[in-house]
Structure 1
Amino acid sequence: MLRRISSNFDSFRPVSFGPGFNVILAEMAPGASEKHSRNARGKTTLIQAINYCLGGTLAKSMAPLAAAGWSFSLELDLFGSTLTATRNLKGGNKLRLDYPGELSGVLHAYVDENSAVTVEDWKFLLGLGLFSLDRVGESGDRGISPRTLLSYVIRTEAVKDPLKIIPQQPAWSSREHVAYLLNLNWELVRDLSRLEEDSDTYKAIARATKKSLLPRALRPEPELMLELVEAQRTLAELTSRVQGFQVVEDPDGLISRADRVTEELKELRNDALVDRRMIELYAESIENEQGSEDAGVGEVVAELYGEMQRAFNPEALQSFEKVEAFHHQVMGNRRRFLSAELERLRGQQAERDEKIRALTVSRNSILAVLDAGGALEELSALQNERAQAAAHVTEVETALNNVRDLAEAQEGVRVQKAQLRQETARDLSANRQKLDAVAARFDRMMQELYGVSGVLTAEVDDLGFKFTIRVSTSASGGVTRMQLLCFDLTLMAEGTGENHHPGFLIHDSVVFDGVDPRQVAAGLSLVRETAESVGAQYICTMNSNDVPASVSDADWFIEGTRRIVLDTEEGGILGTSF
């Protein structure tokens, strides 16, 4: 229970609260006309100050108070005793706790030598003391938050959906916290929401993969398989080339040797050509001489000699026999010379041909080595190409494994979701009787206020428990606000005895805006009766003109009025303007 709110400024008059019904009422000052407003007198500021002392963030409207050095102190029941938490509006990273000795054992691990506690530790203590929440919330954990739970019992907004604290609240958050307040297994909602997020991620990846919107590493499995086969074939070919590669240690030297052999072969072939021409000439000469003898060369010589005798003195000429003998001697010497030269040239040609054959074999061997081998730079380039091909194979294999792992993970998520849905259904079935009682209480409240049925249902879907509120009447503003009132009262009534609710509920005046006076009267009476029946505390702020006379004149309403706020600077909740 909340007992008292005070400040370090005397202009703020402390407000004390009691069990059951409590109201902060805004009135017009005496002499004020209807043009004066009951709003902006600090009713909401009071609730914001309470919320701030309970670990909430500082409202923007209270920033001027922070600059002026304001602080607020809230006295409340916690862990079976009463303590006071004081928090400065400026800074506000720590709170000072004033507590009795019996709480030392609980608080000593969290407070320092100055009895100060960090905001985060204070939130944990509030979760433990007010909601029996014994876990520390983690960032991004999708766990239960003490502050979110408190937002279900301190309403400063009249949201259309009572299951949420603000319209933008994620579905998993509202489901988790409502499940906790109803004492259901909220962890099932957390786990299913995580799996749903994973499933949505995998589905998005799969859609993007099919549409080729992702990097090449994430492509359909058939496409990756085809690329892997081609990459492996290329790697095998390059590996074979590297393994069969013959490195020539001195390719430039071999080329020079080949050039020298080629030049020598050229000279030998030129010499061979000359010798073949000489052999042909010598052979032809020998053949011609043999032909001349066969044709009667002696007769020709004799005839020539006869002609010479007529022209010369007989003594000057020798006998024909001597001339013929000389001729035969000369011709014989020539034949012998030609035959010897012919034999020499043929022998020289044979030796040259053998040398040409040997040099040709040597040159072909050098060229074969040059053709089969290569330089170290070429081998290095080939090895680099093979390494790149191997890296490509590894890359495609990794991508293929990732795609398969993704498909396996997606299937795993589907199986886990099915299992958790079954577990959630079992938990819902086990708690069906209790939930039916909750729904019956909510229905009775709506019947009492509007005479219409209202249902609060729970079912199971992919996010776990799905809660729904339905009322069989038009969704007017007044009905929507009374749905919120009945839902919050139901949670308070059902959760107070199970330690899943702090036992107090705070509503700002917006909860009653636009509500028909008859329903306001019925709602306030319902609030008082419910709070008293379960031993809880209800605090609200209202404008006096929104309270029907049948209620404002009632003793319980008058006794529950904790402060009257006037539409003047001094009469406001803070006693000053800001």
Structure 2
Amino acid sequence: MIHQITSSLPSFKTLTFSPGLNVLLAHKEHGASDRQTRNRAGKTSLVEIVHYLLGAMANKESLFRAPALRGRTFEMSLDLGADSFVVSRTARDKAKPVVKAPESEPETLANTQWNEILGRRLFELGSVGVAAQGRKPTFRSLFAYFARREQSGGFTAPEKQAGMQQLVDIQVSLLYLLGLDWQIAADWQLVRDREKTLKELKKAAKEGAFGAVLGKSADLRTELTVKEGRLKALQERIAAFRVHPEYRALELEADQITRNLNELANDNTLDHAAVRDMEAALAVEAPPAILDLAAVYAQAGVVLPGVALQQYDDVRRFHESVIRNRKDYLLGELEEARQRISARDHQKGVLDARRSELLALLNSHGALEQFSKLQAEGTRLDAEVNHLRQRYESALQIEGSKNELDFERSRLSLRLKRDFVEQEARLQEAILVYENISKSLYESAGSMQVDTGSNGPGFSFPIQGARSKGIKNMKIFCFDMMLMCLCGARGIGPGFLIHDSHLFDGVDGRQVISALKVGARLAEEHQFQYIVTMNEDDAFKETLPGFDLSDYVMDVKLTDASEDGGLFGIRF
């Protein structure tokens, strides 16, 4: 319960609370005009102060961003379980709460730390969600049901503590507060998230945003398999690659040897041709026989004298000498050519052996730049394979996820129904408590229904005249009281419930006083604190025998008729 709320603002009206029902009234002063309302008396501000001290963030529209409150500290003493704590927080940007635990010095905490402490002490959240997937209950989400905020849309429906509250947050929070398996609701949100993604992918593919890029799974499977094979082969080649530090020098030497071998072969070709020519010339070199010459002259009718024949012998000898000299020359040239060919053949053998050695070395090693190129190609191909794999998996998700998600929905529905059967006693208790509270207000009692719909657990509250704003608000009253009773029995919750005057807008006076009487009775029976802020004339429109609301009215009186009549004692 809350014991006291105070502030360093001198004009602030300190609020001291008692167990059970506490009614903070805004009075209408005698002689006040119709224009002097109680809308700025500070009734709703009480709820905002409690939220601020219990870990709420102060957004731009927050009361605690107002220049008139900047630097002012607000403090609240309250029970957290069996211990009493004092928490204070200054109105400024990113202000941290200062918490004083029993028998300890005040400690400045980060807002997240303070929320964790509150979650453990008030809702036993210390062990919740350690291994849980998806969403999980949080202190701020749970606490908002016990101090609804008008500015957040907290009075729109019983199951919602904020107008923009997400379905998963509603389901997880209420299942947890009712003692049911909240993890089912969290898992259901995972299905909804996947369905949303699938829907967006299908829409984008249908509209051509990336349908051509995504492709069909069958085509992508083939392309992916081929490129994965290429990548594997390239990776094996890179793994076996050996870099030789002098690879380029060896490569140049091998190229030079090849050029030398080509030159030697060309020179040998020329010498072989010369050898063939000289051998042919040697074969035809021979002097004509002397008898043949005499016969030629005789046939010509010329008788050669002895002198002529003697001179001819000199000519023949000279001729034979010339032939012999030419033959010796050809034989010398022939031998030199053959020696040159032999020398080149030997040199070619040596060079060819060296080239073979170099080529073997080059085949087993590679250049550093070649290795770098292989690595770059491997990186590029790996990125391409990863991109293909993502496209393939996305295509599979689009083509096959619907059946999988339908199956998951069916499985979750069975889990939820099984949990409802196993926890039937708790569900029945919640339904009966809600109905009994509703009976105290209306002849035709409303009811609470919890079903297993196609989108997870659903909550509805049928009652006659449900379209009436007043009846809608009383459904919230019945629901909040039911939560207080059930959570109190389980030993969780803040131990107090706060309703500001917005809850009673449009409610018939008879139901207002009946609700206050029910709240006082349940607070006493279940040992919790019920804090209500109201306008005085709304509170006392009706009376009930045996119930005097004046017994629960707080000493502090609020009014908007004067500058200092509100909770803060100033207007801003």
TM-score when normalising by structure 1: 0.73
Separation in 2, partners of 1:391, 1:291: 94
- Distance of aligned partners of 1:334 and 1:470 in 2 relative to their CA distance in 1, 3 Å threshold: farther
Distance 1:237 1:79 in 2: 68
Counterparts of 1:254-265 in structure 2, within 5 Å, are 254=257, 257-258=260-261, 261=264, 264-265=267-268
| Structure 2 residue 517 is matched with structure 1 residue 531 | no
- State the match for 1:146 in structure 2: 139
What is the aligned counterpart of 1:95 among 98, 114, 118? 98
**Corresponding residue of 2:254:** 251
Q: C-alpha offsets along residues 129-157 of structure 1, whole Å, 9 cap, x if unaligned?
A: 44444459999984433333221101122
Post-superposition offset of 1:292: 6.2
- SS state at 1:155 partner: coil
Aligned to 2:472: 480
Counterpart residue number, 2:44: 44
1:543 aligns with 2:546: no
Supply the RMSD in Å over aligned alpha carbons.
5.1
Name the count of aligned residue pairs: 542
Question: Using a 3 Å threshold, how does the CA distance of structure 1 residues 196 and 361 change in structure 2: closer, same or farther?
Answer: farther
* 472-481 or 490-499: bigger deviation: 472-481
Amino acid in structure 1 at the alignment position of 2:32: A
Cα distance in 1 for partners of 2:454, 2:256 equals: 83
- 2:2–2:79: 8 Å Cα contact kept in structure 1? yes
Q: In the aligned structure 2, how far is the partner of 1:454 from the partner of 1:291?
A: 156
Q: Give how far 1:225 is off.
A: 1.2
Q: Distance in 2 between matches of 1:543 and 1:146?
A: 30
Match of 1:156 in 2: 149
Which position in structure 1 is the counterpart of 2:311? 326
1:441 is aligned to 433
Q: Report how far residue 495 of structure 1 moved.
A: 1.7
- 1:70 paired with 2:72, answer yes
Secondary structure of 1:251's partner? Answer: helix
* Deviation of 1:435 (Å): 0.5
**Cα distance in 2 for residues equivalent to 1:117 and 1:241:** 59
| 1:9-48 to 2 correspondences below 5 Å | 9-48=9-48
Q: Which amino acid aligns with 2:63?
A: S
1:501 alignment partner in structure 2: 493
User: Which one has a bigger Cα radius of gyration?
Assistant: 1
C-alpha offsets along residues 356-401 of structure 1, whole Å, 9 cap, x if unaligned?
A: 4774686598579769939969931554455556666776787899
Q: Which amino acid aligns with 1:171?
A: L
Alignment match, 2:366: 379
Q: Is the 8 A contact 2:509 2:542 kept in 1?
A: no
SS at match of 2:24: strand
Secondary structure in 2 matching 1:4: strand
Greater shift in the superposed pair: 373-382 or 433-442: 373-382
Structure 1: distance between partners of 2:174 and 2:437:
19
Partner of 1:230: 230
1:512 matches 2:491:
no
Q: Is structure 2 residue 471 aligned with structure 1 residue 459? A: no
Give the secondary structure class of the aligned counterpart of 1:30: coil
Secondary structure of the residue aligned to 1:538 is strand
C-alpha offsets along residues 396-443 of structure 1, whole Å, 9 cap, x if unaligned?
7878999999999x9999999988776554433211122123123334
1:177 counterpart (173, 178, 189) = 173
1:570 is aligned with what amino acid?
A: D
Deviations 1:237-271 (A, max 9, x none): 8999989x995573365256436635744763685
Determine the C-alpha separation between the residues in 2 that align with 1:115 and 1:379.
Answer: 67
Taking the aligned partners of 2:477 and 2:532, their CA distance within structure 1 comes to 11
For 1:315-354, what aligned pairs fall within 5 Å after superposition? 320-328=305-313, 330-331=315-316, 334-335=319-320, 337-338=322-323, 341-342=326-327, 345=330, 348-349=333-334, 352=337
Matched with 1:557 is 549
Structure 2 gap ranges (5+): none
Contact 1:456 1:467 in 2 (8 A): yes
Q: Does 1:430 align with 2:422?
A: yes
* Identical-residue share of aligned pairs (%): 21
Counterpart Cα distance in 2 of 1:382 and 1:235:
14
2: CA distance between counterparts of 1:444 and 1:547?
23
The one-letter code matched in structure 2 to 1:379 is: G
Query: Given the superposition, is the C-alpha separation of residues 402 and 3 from structure 1 closer, same or farther in structure 2, using an over 3 Å criterion?
Result: same
Q: Structure 1: 5+ residue runs without aligned partners?
A: 98-105, 306-319
What TM-score do you get using the length of structure 2 for normalisation? 0.74
Conserved 8 A contact 1:66-1:89: no
The answer to whether the Cα contact below 8 Å between 1:520 and 1:548 also exists between their aligned partners in 2 is no
2:182 — aligned with what? 186
Instruction: Give the residue type in structure 1 aligned to 2:34.
Output: E
